[in-house]
Structures are given as C-alpha cells and as structure tokens.
Chains A and B, each alone.
Chain A
Amino acid sequence: MNRPCNSMEPRVMDDDMLKLAVGDQGPQEEAGQLAKQEGILFKDVLSLQLDFRNILRIDNLWQFENLRKLQLDNNIIEKIEGLENLAHLVWLDLSFNNIETIEGLDTLVNLEDLSLFNNRISKIDSLDALVKLQVLSLGNNRIDNMMNIIYLRRFKCLRTLSLSRNPISEAEDYKMFICAYLPDLVYLDYRRIDDHTKELAEAKHQYSIDELKHRENLMQAQLEDEQARREELEKHKTAFVEHLNGSFLFDSMYAEDSEGNKLSYLPGVGELLETYKDKFVIICVNIFEYGLKQQEKRKTELDTFSECVHEAIQENQEQGKRKIAKFEEKHLSSLSAIREESELPNIEKMILECSADISELFDALMTLEMQLVEQLEETINMFERNIVDMVGVFIENVQSLMAQCRDLESHHHEKLLEISISTLEKIVEGDLDEDLPNDLRALFVDKDTIVNAVGASHDIHLLKIDNREDELVTRINSWCTRLVDKIHKDEIMRNRKRVKEINQYIDHMQSELDNLECGDILD
C-alpha cells in the first residue's frame, strides 16, 4: 500500500519488542516499581498494544495465554497467523494492515470484537468459530458480493457491523439488504438502525428471507435429526447392544457370504430364509431390549452408589468444617491472649497449649478421614461385587440368547443342506424344473462342492455371531473394569488430596504459631 510507513524496514516481533511493549503498557507508579522489581510474565499480561510498528509477521505471541485484548493495527501484516494460543482473546484489532483473507481465527472462541478495517479482504469467511462475535468491522475492504452478508446470519450475538467503503456498499440496496438479512443488528456503519428502516427492509425482502429462513430451518431440523440419531446410537452403545434392534446382524451375516447369497436362489430357500430371518431378528430384538433394561439397571445402581458416596463425603466434610471452625474460634482467642500476655513462662505455656490444640485438631481430622476411607472402601467393594454380578448375569443371558441364534443358524444350515442335496440329486437326475443362475449351478458339480459351499456359508454366519458376542462381552467387561478402577482411583485421589489439605492446614497453623513464638522471643 502506498502509506508512508511502507518505506520503512519491516520489523520482526521478537522478544525485545514484546518485553518493551509489556513493560511500557504494564502497571504504573508504585505498582510499576513492584512490577519492575519482579518482572512481568507474558502469560499474566491481559492486554497488548503493538501498533505502528511495521510488523510484517505475527509471531512469538504463544506465551500470552491469558491475553484479552490485542492491538496489531497499522502494521503491514499480510496473513493472520500465530494467534492459535490466545484462546481467551476478546478484542482483536487488525485494522490498517494488508490482510487478504480471513484465516487463523479458529481457536479464538471468546472473541467478541474483531476489527479488520482497511485491509484487502474480498470475502467474509472462516469466522465460524467466533460464536460470541458482537462487533465486526470490515470497512474499507474489497468485499463485492452481497451474499457475504448471508454468511453473517450465523452470528447470533452480532450487533454492530461496519462494511462501509466496500464495493458492496455502493449498491443502492446495500442498507436495506443488510437490515433485512441481519434483523438483530443494531448498528450499521457507525449508525443506529432505526425501526422504520428495519420494517421497510423487512417488507422489501420478505420473500427471499422467508425462503432463506425455510432453508435454514430445514437444515437445522436435519442437523437435529442427525444429532438425535447419533445420541440414540450412543445410548445403545453404552448398553453394548447397538444395531441389535433390527436385522443389522443378520444382514451383516449375509453381506460377506457369497455362497449363502447364491444358495438363496434355490427353490424353497427363499421362504426358509424369510422365516429364519424373522426368528433371528426377534432374538436380536430380545437381546437389544434386555440390554437396554440392564443398562438402565446398571445406571440406577451407579447413580445410587455415587449419590450415597457423595452424601457420605459431604457429611464428612461438614463435620470437618465444623471442627475447623470450632478450632479457629478457640485458636484466634488464644492467639490474641498470647499476644497480650507479657510473662514469658505463661506465653510458653500457652503456646504449648496451642500446639496441643493443633495436634488434637490434626488427630480429629485424620480420624474422620480414616473413618470415611474405611466406610467408603466397604461401600465401594459392595458396589463392585454388585456391578460385577450384574455384568455376569447380563453376559450369561446374552450368551444364552446368542446360543439360540446359533441353534437357529444350525437349524437353517441343516435345512439348507437338505435342500441343496435334494437339488443336487435332482440336477444329477436331470429333472430340475427351475432355471438356476449360472454361478449357482456351478456349485452343483458334486456333493463335496455343494456341502463345502453350504458349510462355508454356515461358518461365516457362526463367525459373525461369535464376533458380535465376543465384542459385546469384551466391551462390557472392559467397561466394568474401567469403572471399578476409576472409582478406586478417585477414592485414592480424594483421600490423598484430603490428607494433603489437612497437613497443609496444620503446617500453616503450626508455622503461624512458631512465627508468633519467634516474634515474641525477639520482642
């Protein structure tokens, strides 16, 4: 661009530049002295201003994790990059740069105010992640397609928009179009949109907007459907019986079974297959429903357990809190008594008393904690037993149902074999009435071939059933182990944390007392 700064040498965003900026913009006066004394960590910085610095490339900003406001205006940046780490950013100013496309903003989910004024952007795009966007400034760019406005409909919080001095703002319909398509907008090009204009715009573009809304609603509904389906499947998966509420398993059995498919063209097999499928599906649905029921049961069991544990912990915490509150009351009064006491032997005696109190508190708290640990352990063990039992029963039942499936399959296999052999006999005798597909006829060469083919189909089916069963059993078992492990681990973590907390508190109390002692002795 033909700006005066163009003549200057581009500068690199290095550590020195950042440090200088942070130092300049950090706390002032007394706080500034302190800051200088201690140094400021980049990750503590909340706002950073880097304007008029001839920066060509955004760089070295990854340390500013907590940055809320970043100003990079009036530089010569050509590409938005290096902002991935600034997830807390709320305010981003990139105006008066040389940016051509919007990009690299996908992690800035908290961004509310984005300024890209005076750049070279021609298309509004890649802003999907910015769900909280309220203010968007895109004036003085190269946006020339009105359809870009429709893209902005997805920002439900957008209230202020600036698009002046773009090619589209020349269009006579520009204002009306925006008002109509962005009805929630309050300010356009630094001016408040009055209600009258809004009404006019709405009336003008009503048809197209209605159409658009209809399309959007359809999309939304589709999305929701998809979501619901996914949730449903997820629910089934947690019950370990997904795809068992229909013929999915049966279909998968025949999916890779070329022989079986061929054989289905044999006379009589069609009906056989039909009844077989019906029976098979009924069993599958049984498994499915049983699975859901069991899942519900497991869930209630788990809920009851967690509720009880939570209650126990809460109760225990309350007791602990009460103990501490009581102690603190006493401790405070005795501390002030010590401060007021002037006789050294008395002080020592009182301090001794105090430390006795502290150790008493420690004992009490630890007793409480140990008590809780024991109680919880018992409960957890009981729960573990129950849940393992439940899982065992579930597996057993599913296995028996699966065995029924296998029986059905064997039955079907026998029938099929019978038909095949009789057909073979017929073919050998040459009195087969119907025409068979060629690939099927190829199987009827001799008895071994056909028996092998039927056997292969049967094997595949059995394998599929076995696989499904194995999958279910493994998954539920692993779920069970993981759950129990997690409960144990959580309990251990909780215990450690509590013990640590108690120790820390006691140490603090003790050190406070010691300090007092030292101070007194010094006095």
Chain B
Amino acid sequence: MEVLREKVEEEEEAEREEAAERAEWARMEKMMRPVEVRKEETTLKQETLRDLEKKLSEIQITVSAELPAFTKDTIDISKLPVSYKTNTPKEEHLLQVADNFSRQYSHLCPDRVPLFLHPLNECEVPKFVSTTLRPTLMPYPELYNWDSCAQFVSDFLTMVPLPDPLKPTIKKEEKVLPKKYTIKPPRDLCSRFEQEQEVKKQQEIRAQEKKRLREEEERLMEAEKAKPDALHGLRVHSWVLVLSGKREVPENFFIDPFTGHSYSTQDEHFLGIESLWNHKNYWINMQDCWNCCKDLIFDLGDPVRWEYMLLGTDKSQLSLTEEDDSGINDEDDVENLGKEDEDKSFDMPHSWVEQIEISPEAFETRCPNGKKVIQYKRAKLEKWAPYLNSNGLVSRLTTYEDLECTNILEIKEWYQNREDMLELKHINKTTDLKTDYFKPGHPQALRVHSYKSMQPEMDRVIEFYETARVDGLIKREETPRTMTEYYQGRPDFLSYRHASFGPRVKKLTLSSAESNPRPIVKITERFFRNPAKPAEEDVAERVFLVAEEHIQLRYHCREDHITASKREFLRRTEVDSKGNKIIMTPDMCISFEVEPMEHTKKLLYQYEAMMNLKREEKLSRHQVWESELEVLEILKLREEEEAAHTLTISIYDTKRNEKSKEYREAMERVMHEEHLRQVETQLDYLAPFLAQLPPGEKLTRWQAVHLKDECLSDFKQRLINKANLIQARFEKETQELQKKQQWYQENQVTLTPEDEDLYLSYCSQAMFRIRILEQRLNRHKELAPLKYLALEEKLYKDPRLGELQKIFA
C-alpha cells in the first residue's frame, strides 16, 4: 500500500491559503469498501505522515526497507513544539465529538470501513485530521497556482511503500469480489470493433484487420501481463480534490500528489471516495461508488450525499437549492448522527502543526538530493536540480524498445544554464544520429546541429539563427561530397548555394600545415527575385561547372510569362589560326531570351557579363571554401564547449555568482572595519576616572584638573608600559638568538645538515621578529609623544572638563 504523503496535503494547503475563499480544497481519503483498515494501521500510517510532514522542508527521506525505524529515528520529538505533544481542551472536545460521530457512523453503517478521523501523530497523540492542515502562503510565485504547486510537491517527495500493505482480511475479501481485480479483457473491445468492421468492410480487409488487431492484442496482452495488480481496488490512497467556483476554477478535479497531474473527477483510476476533509470540516461520502467516481456529486452542502461532522462551517459553499431541501429531508439523519446543538457552534480548532518552511535551496533542489528518477513503461525520466550536474544536465528521457528497458531507442537530454546555450541533446540510437538544439545566443548562432560524427566532411545539418548572422545563413547541409547552404534576407538575394566536391587530389609537395581543400566540381546558386531589377535581368540560378568551365544562368520568369531566359557561357580561352587570343566569339555565349533584346546580342555585353561571372565564380569558390573553414571552426568550438561545459550564473544569483559574492564580502569587510574604527574613536578615556566620582555632579575646577592629570599620567604610564613590553620582548628575542648562535658555533662541527637547516631557518625567523620588534619600538617612540599630546588636546576640549578651560580663560 502506498503511503500517504501528508506533505502533499500540507503543500496544497499552503497554496490553498490565499485561495481559501476561492477554490475549495478538500482532502479526501478513499478506501475501497472491502478494505478493513485497522486502527493500528491507520496510526502507523499517520505516524509516517507526520514524520514526513515534519521533514518536509529539508530532510529527504530515502526509501528505507525498515519503515518504522526511520519513523523513530529521523524525528527528534523533544524539539517539537508543545502543540505536537498535548491536546488543548478544545481539541479534546473535538476528539470526543469525533468519537461520538464515529460510533454513530459505525452503528448506522456497519458494512463500511471505520472512519479515518484521529490518527496518532509522531508524538503518539491523537489528532483530528482536519487540524493537521494549516493553510500557509509560500513566498514562491510558482506555488501560487495548483499545477506548478502540484508538480513541485510530486517532485519534492519520494514515495515510500508501506511495509505491509496487505492484511490477511484483505486477501479474504479479494475472493469475495473477484470482479474488481480483473481488468476488462481486451477481447471484448476487439470483438465489438470487429463487428463494426464486419459491417463496414469487406471480408478480405477485415481478415487483414483482424490479423493486425490480434497482433496488437497480443502485444497489449503482453504489456498487460507485466502488471497484473493483485491489489486492484484495495489500495488506500489520499489525493486532493479541488472544487470549482473560486479562483477561476471551472470544474472539480483531482490532483494526484505523486505525479502532480490533474485528473477529471470522471477518471476511472479513482475507484471511490470514503471521506474527505479540509482544515474546516470532515465529510463522509454517502453515495454509491459502484461506477468509480463518475457519478459522485461534489456538493458538500447536500447532507444526503455528504455527511458532515461539524455543522455550519462551510455554509457558504453549499448550493442554495439543495440546501433548502436537504435541510428538511435529512433532519433525521443529522439527529441520528448526533449533531448536537453545541456542535453547531463548534469551530474547528486551529491547526497544531507548525508552518511549513521551504528554504530557497530546497525549493530549487526540488527533488530529494536534487535527483529524481521516474520509470515509465518503456521509458525512464531522470530529473536533476539546476547546477547539480556540472554539465548543466537537468533532465534525461530514455526511451526503450522493450518493456525490460534494455534496448535504448533514443535519449533526450535537456540542459540549463549552459554557456554554449545548448538546450536539448537528442540521440537516436537506432540511426546513431545526434541532434543538438541551442537557444539563441550561441557565439556561432547555432540553432540545431545534427550529426553522426564530429569529423568534418561527413553527413551533418547545421541550422542557424539567421538574424544573428551577418550572411543570413539558415541551414547548411553536408554530405561527404556536397555542401548545401540556405540563406534568407541577404542584400544580394542569394537563397541557396550548393557545392559538390570531387575527390581530393594528393599533393606530394604539400606541407602538413597547409590545408588541402577538395576540388570544387560544381557550384549552384539560386537567388530570390530582386524587385528592383526587371525579371529578364534578374538571375534566378547560376551554375558554375568549374571543371567543364561552363557557366549556366537562368533568369527569373516574368510575371506574365511561363518561360525564363537562359544563358550559357563557355569559358574557354582559345587561340585562332593566327595565334591571336580569341577574346569573345558568338558561340561562347548561347542564350535564350524570352523577349530578345538588342543590347544583349552585343559581344561587348556578353564579354562583360562573362568577365563579371568569372569574378563571381572566384568569389563563390572562396565562399564555399570559407564555409568549409567555418564548419571546421564550429566543430572545434563545439568540441571545446563540450569539454568545458561551462555554466552561466545569473548576476542575480547571489549564492552562485562568485564575483558578486566576493564583492559583497569585501563590502561587508569594509563595513566591519569601518565600524571597528568608529568604535575605537569613540573610546572614552575619561570614563574610568569619572566613575570614581559621584555621578551627575558638576566637576569643580580642582576635580577637573586632578582628573586630567590622573588621566594623562595613566596614559603616560600605559605608553611606557607598552614601550617596556616591546623592549622586553625585543631583548628576549635577541638573547635567545645569541644563545642559539653560541650553541651553533659550539656544535657546528657535529651538526647534521637537517639541524643546520633548522638552525638557519630559526635564525632568519628570529631576525625577522627582532626586526619587526625594533620597528615597532621605534614607531612607538615616535608616536607616543604625539598620542600624549593628542589626548591632552582632547581632554582639554572635553565638555565634561569645562572647568579646565575656565582656568586658562
């Protein structure tokens, strides 16, 4: 059986506090009808709960095999406040009321499980469940809304199974109601489906479908086999119900504290509700749960459906129509259940538990030890607190092929606070393809980098944040023989560049430092339409066939045309029969023009166009070469980043930001020193002498003079003492040194090298000390008269010795 986490409830309550008037939170405890929960069990459970509650802010309980042990060990009862150990008269009264209520209930409904009303807390004191709730407002905005709050609670807690969730009685009951335990056979579902298929589809298709279905069924069966739940319907579980109405909660829903997920009240995972409570009241479900919780009506004001324990606390939440009816009809029940008059005015006492405190560290760490592993079917999710892993890893999702979780399909790793802005790393184990996703801000403006290996000139796709790049590159795809680049928003309207490479030519004379770029066979460039140019002059695509010395141009298509102009230049340099170089001949440029123009026929025009293209080709080749270099650079940078995996720290993060910490500490030190200085300056020389005289009286002249003299002589004495002290130390040091020197000279011959070293180091240290003492002495001698004079001056100006001035005046 799963242990209740009181913490959950506390947390929810914490959040609930400011929502108290808005959404009705109710704690509920559900027990399946067959379960006989004994008092001991409840107690034990409650103890655990109390434990956990106690521990919630800091101590994270690891799963322990011996549950009671940790219960006792981890809590120091003596440190708990008195409210934990005793019951106030009001609480005692409440317990009596609860006992009365419980007795009548078991009398009226003997079939049902005894109520879970007042378990023992960690100090073995019975406490009413509602008083264990204390609405608390936490200082974290994330805990203000239910979803993030629930998520936090689920992360913050570790599930510890109860040592013995099954009681012998439960097993007996199991046989009585076997239906509850069997899962609906999938066959039912299928046959119905098949019937539908029969109507709709032809025989052949149906057969195929059947086969497919059977396979699926088998797979399903196999999957189901893994978890035949012997305890289905027997578990006791607590969860949170949020009632609609306040804080824009549109409808009732459940929150499961273990996952932090919300469920509809119709969800079939919730088999029934025995009772529910909040910090004000306790209700028993009087509705039949045969159809799970689907038919339950959560109108807590309806006494037919919900039997309350205390009257008149939650009136405001009743729906009015029901209130009137129920008030009359269920008068008897109320009486029967012993709702005495005095109870009506009886308020729930204040909670006896202490307020929950969650330290910011604990809040940030979230999970116990900052790490949590959640096992799913064919998947595993691991979570870490930020900064826990040195590489910034915060969560990892591993997907497996099989149920045993041995064959990994893919791994997704999420990172945070990475300096290289890496956000997500996706590794597909079947194709071995790795994909890195980056947030904006990478020095190379990387967005996505997918690759199989970090070696250059291999298959890879790099996407960029094109607005962060000067050249507007969006994507660069590489295969061993090609490189394709996509651009956007360039002033030259280039949109695409494709380069294919030939095999690398071996250069024998090549020095190793020089790179040997692959020969470019072909460059294809495409351009967007440049609206400033007429279409027949705006190149749409140009192909440089480097090896064949061809240049092909295709122009943009005019708006009202379906064909586009084309031009092809043969870039051959030939020599005519006379040996002159042929500059340009008409057959070096083959062009097709949609609307033939005069000036393009000219050789001069063609020549200039070709010269231009030659230049452009050179540029493009250079560009391709630079792109290759850039890829190398990126790969190098990535490798470095991967190796260094530096994390960024926000300047507002006072705890982690070393720089700001240092600065702050320095500031504090300065402040402290300043303070010390101030204290020193405020030192009152006169105080000890004034203390001898009767206080409050004005000093006579004689007294003032006497006081002054006394003070000065005392100070003089102190200065002399200090000088003597320094002198004495100096002499002592000198003597010791002399002695040592003597000793050394006497024993010089017999000394071992170590002793000699020792002696030498002693000498140098002693010399240092002597020198320092000497300096101090000199300094003291210098400063002493000044200090004396300063004191005299000070005393002379002291208002308390005003008489002195009168003399001189």
Chain A contact residues, CB within 8 Å of chain B: 27, 30-31, 33-35, 37-38, 40, 44, 313, 317, 320-321, 324, 365, 494, 497-498, 501-502, 504-505, 508, 512
B598, closest chain A residue (CB): A41
Interface pick from B110-118, B276-284, B340-348, B602-610: B602-610
A35 to B605, CA, bound (A): 9
Given A501-B562, A501-B563, are A30 and B583 also a contact pair (CB < 8 Å)?
Answer: yes
The reply to whether A38 and B599 contact each other, CB–CB distance below 8 Å, is no
Given A44-B599, A501-B594, A504-B594, are A365 and B607 also a contact pair (CB < 8 Å)?
Answer: no
B561, closest chain A residue (CB): A501
A contact residues around B563 at 8 Å (CB): 324, 501-502, 504-505
Residue among B562, B563, B594, B607 having the largest count of chain A Cβ atoms under 10 Å? B562
B337 within 8 A of A: no
The reply to whether B560 and A31 contact each other, CB–CB distance below 8 Å, is no
Given A33-B583, A44-B599, are A27 and B562 also a contact pair (CB < 8 Å)?
Answer: no
> Which 9 residue pairs are nearest across A and B when measured between Cβ atoms?
A320-B562, A505-B563, A508-B592, A30-B583, A34-B604, A34-B603, A35-B604, A317-B562, A321-B562
A505, closest chain B residue (CB): B563
Q: Identify 30 residue pairs between A and B in the complex whose beta-carbon atoms are under 8 Å apart, listed by A's number.
A: A27-B608, A30-B583, A30-B584, A30-B607, A31-B607, A33-B583, A34-B583, A34-B584, A34-B603, A38-B603, A38-B604, A40-B604, A44-B599, A44-B602, A313-B560, A317-B561, A321-B557, A321-B562, A324-B562, A494-B560, A497-B560, A498-B562, A501-B561, A501-B562, A501-B594, A502-B562, A505-B563, A505-B592, A505-B594, A512-B590
The reply to whether A31 and B557 contact each other, CB–CB distance below 8 Å, is no
A contact residues around B611 at 8 Å (CB): 31
In the complex, per-residue mask of B583-622: 1 if CB is within 8 Å of any chain A CB, else 0: 1100000101010000100111001100100000000000
From B560, B594, B602, contact of A38 by CB (8 A): B602
A369, closest chain B residue (CB): B562
A496 to B592, CA, bound (A): 19
* Chain B interface residue bracket vs A: 10 to 19
Minimum Cβ distance to chain A for residue B576 (Å):
13
A333 to B166, CA, bound (A): 78
A contact residues around B583 at 8 Å (CB): 30, 33-34
Which residues in chain B, 563-597, are within 8 Å of chain A measured between CB atoms?
Answer: 563, 583-584, 590, 592, 594
A43, closest chain B residue (CB): B599
Given A320-B562, A365-B562, A501-B562, are A34 and B557 also a contact pair (CB < 8 Å)?
Answer: no
Minimum Cβ distance to chain A for residue B331 (Å):
74
B contact residues around A321 at 8 Å (CB): 557, 562
A44 to B608, CA, bound (A): 14
A321 to B563, CA, bound (A): 7
Minimum Cβ distance to chain A for residue B526 (Å):
14
The reply to whether A317 and B603 contact each other, CB–CB distance below 8 Å, is no
A29, closest chain B residue (CB): B583
A contact residues around B607 at 8 Å (CB): 30-31, 34
Minimum Cβ distance to chain B for residue A296 (Å):
29
Instruction: Count CB-based A-B contacts (< 8 Å).
Output: 49
A34 to B557, CA, bound (A): 30
| Additional pairs, 5, CB under 8 Å, beyond known A30-B584, A33-B583 | A27-B608, A34-B607, A317-B562, A502-B562, A505-B563
Given A31-B608, A33-B583, A501-B594, are A317 and B602 also a contact pair (CB < 8 Å)?
Answer: no
A506, closest chain B residue (CB): B563
Given A34-B604, A38-B603, A44-B599, are A317 and B584 also a contact pair (CB < 8 Å)?
Answer: no
B contact residues around A365 at 8 Å (CB): 562
A contact residues around B592 at 8 Å (CB): 505, 508
B611, closest chain A residue (CB): A31
Minimum Cβ distance to chain A for residue B768 (Å):
65
B587, closest chain A residue (CB): A515
The reply to whether B604 and A317 contact each other, CB–CB distance below 8 Å, is no
The reply to whether A317 and B560 contact each other, CB–CB distance below 8 Å, is yes
B contact residues around A320 at 8 Å (CB): 562
A443 to B274, CA, bound (A): 115
A35, closest chain B residue (CB): B604
A contact residues around B584 at 8 Å (CB): 30, 34
Minimum Cβ distance to chain A for residue B615 (Å):
14
A contact residues around B590 at 8 Å (CB): 512
A365 to B563, CA, bound (A): 11
Minimum Cβ distance to chain A for residue B542 (Å):
16
B contact residues around A33 at 8 Å (CB): 583
A508 to B565, CA, bound (A): 11
A33 to B604, CA, bound (A): 9
B566, closest chain A residue (CB): A508
A365 to B607, CA, bound (A): 35
A427 to B488, CA, bound (A): 94
A494 to B562, CA, bound (A): 12
Minimum Cβ distance to chain B for residue A440 (Å):
69
The reply to whether A37 and B603 contact each other, CB–CB distance below 8 Å, is yes
Residue among A321, A494, A502, A512 having the largest count of chain B Cβ atoms under 10 Å? A321
The reply to whether B604 and A31 contact each other, CB–CB distance below 8 Å, is yes
A contact residues around B608 at 8 Å (CB): 27, 31
Minimum Cβ distance to chain B for residue A19 (Å):
16
A37 to B585, CA, bound (A): 12
Minimum Cβ distance to chain A for residue B300 (Å):
63
Which residues in chain B, 10-57, are within 8 Å of chain A measured between CB atoms?
Answer: none
A314, closest chain B residue (CB): B559
Residue among B557, B602, B608 having the largest count of chain A Cβ atoms under 10 Å? B602
Given A34-B583, A501-B594, A508-B592, are A27 and B604 also a contact pair (CB < 8 Å)?
Answer: yes
A504 to B607, CA, bound (A): 25
B contact residues around A44 at 8 Å (CB): 599, 602
Minimum Cβ distance to chain A for residue B721 (Å):
72
Minimum Cβ distance to chain B for residue A444 (Å):
73
A30 to B581, CA, bound (A): 10
A contact residues around B557 at 8 Å (CB): 321
Minimum Cβ distance to chain B for residue A68 (Å):
15
Minimum Cβ distance to chain A for residue B79 (Å):
74
A31 to B603, CA, bound (A): 9
A contact residues around B602 at 8 Å (CB): 38, 44
Minimum Cβ distance to chain B for residue A180 (Å):
37
A502 to B561, CA, bound (A): 9
A387 to B599, CA, bound (A): 45
B contact residues around A37 at 8 Å (CB): 603
A365 to B561, CA, bound (A): 12
A323, closest chain B residue (CB): B562
A365 to B592, CA, bound (A): 18
A35 to B611, CA, bound (A): 15
A37 to B607, CA, bound (A): 13
A33 to B594, CA, bound (A): 29
A contact residues around B599 at 8 Å (CB): 44
Minimum Cβ distance to chain A for residue B751 (Å):
84
B contact residues around A313 at 8 Å (CB): 560
A392 to B655, CA, bound (A): 86
A40 to B605, CA, bound (A): 11
Minimum Cβ distance to chain B for residue A363 (Å):
15
A501 to B583, CA, bound (A): 32
A505 to B602, CA, bound (A): 21
A509, closest chain B residue (CB): B592
Minimum Cβ distance to chain B for residue A381 (Å):
22
In the complex, per-residue mask of B489-524: 1 if CB is within 8 Å of any chain A CB, else 0: 000000000000000000000000000000000000
